[in-house]
Amino acid sequence: MKLAIVVNEGPYTHQASDTALHFTRAALEAGHEIERVFFYHDGVNNATRLTVPPQDDRNLQKEWTELGTTHGLDMVVCIAAAQRRGILDANEAKRQGKDADNIAEGFRISGLGQLIDAGIQADRLVTFGD
């Protein structure tokens, strides 16, 4: 089965990000294909490389990056939600006149069209968070 995943909540504030990560990992292990993981609303906060959780806590950004790299996942961050929350890649930082970017490896910024396309291409669209 081909799945598209939507993550609407950020790390450390809601269980949705953890659950989405575990679900995605389990789906891959069960042989399912992940069309795309789309990070929307506060879910874009999973993509910042500047998160520094305590040493004894999980690092969700790192776990998403590792999962995405290992399985070649297309992990898309909504551009409008990202800009509102200060998540920028190098191109957006330059375009917006900012002096730095902070998107983590494995994530890319794009628009809502990527969510619509994922929903069309996938057999199921699974959403985590409000």
At residue 49, does pLDDT exceed 90? Answer: yes
78 counts as catalytic: yes
Question: Which entry of 44, 78, 81, 118 is annotated as an active-site residue?
Answer: 78
In CATH terms, the superfamily for domain 2-128 is: DsrEFH-like (3.40.1260.10)
How many percent of the chain have pLDDT more than 70? 100
pLDDT band at 76 (very low <50, low <70, confident <90, very high): very high
Can you give the pLDDT at residue 13? Answer: 87
Q: What is the pTM of this model?
A: 0.96
Q: Kindly give, in sequence order, each residue whose CB lies less than 8 Å from that of residue 41, ignoring residues fewer than 6 positions away.
A: 8, 9, 78, 81, 129, 130
Rounded distance between C-alpha atoms, residue 32 and residue 22, angstroms: 14
Rounded distance between C-alpha atoms, residue 9 and residue 39, angstroms: 8
Break the chain into its structural domains and give their ranges. 2-128
